[in-house]
Chains A and B, each alone.
Chain A
């Protein structure tokens, strides 16, 4: 069983099917990827470097925007991405 599941070819994040340890070298269809940190099971890992305000893609669709620079192999979650929908806390035009 592969440790990482990439659902759609356009995705820039993958799902860790098991706990991934820091500095573990992961295989993703021939591509080698080093985990920058420990990532819990079923959480997301960055498959590429992602710039701030750039889209996070899963299922081939946008699931949110990066709030800071995310390096390949990092844990991707609420500490570095955010939703753009239903944001009554943001000013209009966001």
Chain B
């Protein structure tokens, strides 16, 4: 299999070559956006980075640094206000471990918006020059990490689109690559089946604890989980319970590869041990994709029954629907029409092969529809309060 990517200083490979401007906190977002826009870089608009504590603080930090470390990013400029909880210097130190160029600038130090934007643009222009010198070279599939997501699900997701992704994921892992199943909420009701696929009992226990923790949160709130899951769109489409949704969602993980581990949200997929992993993330699509990308995924496949437009700032997102009507309705946003299986025009195996081929083409530079439309949604999974 011939795949091409941008080799990074630490031996990883990106399939895109972004300059990423990271605002350390919400206070630096506007300045970061203006710098990124001027030089053709991408920014990460978010609402966090200050007055957080404990595990919640660490998770936000891990997500921001994970985006900087992702191999699709060739260079980074961190923009801080100066006084916020997440300090630019700490982000820089962590990302610098990859060896890629990282610079930082703070608004309070440079004396306000205008001066910081001007200084940021001149730093960013230098970084862009460095990046434009990098060329695509062949790399081994063992460096490729796929994130798998489903959102706006309907019954066709569980019957067609998710099993087809499962076929592609199994094939990627069999070739030596890595794949991540996420969305802990959408494991409730299917955990007994997935747990059996963790050969390592410690990792199996970790996985089951993650699922139990999410359910406990709903129970502790004294609320019916059905207030949020399945969503109104899921229900309108014909999904009745979280168990039904989960039993469809789990097919994304295919059925041959074992789970090598259960990762925390945004935790790095171990580079020395490629394979299938589970990541603890919410059922909300944007937060979930963000976690997998922070963990190193360079590519995402996303199934949707109802149709959804969302993408990611630094990673191509390939959309697949199993619903032929949805494909007709939202063809602008959806890359692959899996509705052909429902209509009896192709088999699940053929659809799985089509998804795999699309993954290779996108890895080699083909734009996804979300990329063409400029979709760059980003969201950090918060697990605590803002004080």
Contact = CB atoms under 8 A, between A and B. Distances in A.
Interface of A: 1, 5, 7, 15, 17, 40-44, 56, 58-59, 61-64, 76-78, 81-90
Contacts, number: 97
8 interchain residue pairs of minimum CB distance: A86-B225, A83-B241, A63-B244, A86-B218, A43-B238, A89-B224, A64-B241, A42-B155
Given A77-B240, A85-B188, 16 more contacts: A1-B343, A42-B155, A43-B238, A58-B244, A58-B247, A61-B189, A63-B189, A63-B244, A64-B241, A76-B240, A78-B235, A83-B242, A84-B243, A86-B219, A86-B229, A86-B242
A44 B242 CA distance: 15
A73 B305 CA distance: 25
A85 to B, nearest CB: 5
A15 B221 CA distance: 33
A38 B220 CA distance: 39
6 contacts: A15-B238, A40-B238, A42-B156, A85-B242, A86-B188, A88-B218
Interface in B222-243: 222-226, 229, 235, 237-238, 240-243
A82 B241 contact: yes
Interface of B: 154-156, 158-159, 188-190, 193, 214-215, 218-226, 229, 235, 237-238, 240-244, 247-248, 305, 323, 342-344
A85 B189 CA distance: 7
B225 A1 contact: no
Most buried by B among A17, A40, A56, A89: A89
A85 B230 CA distance: 12
Contacts of A59: 158, 247-248
A5 B348 CA distance: 15
Most buried by A among B225, B238, B242, B343: B238
A82 B39 CA distance: 53
A35 B344 CA distance: 23
Given A85-B189, A87-B225, A61 B238 contact: no
A89 B222 contact: yes
Nearest to A43: B238
B344 A1 contact: yes
Contacts of A85: 188-189, 215, 225, 241-243
Given A78-B240, A81-B241, A88 B247 contact: no
A61 B193 contact: yes
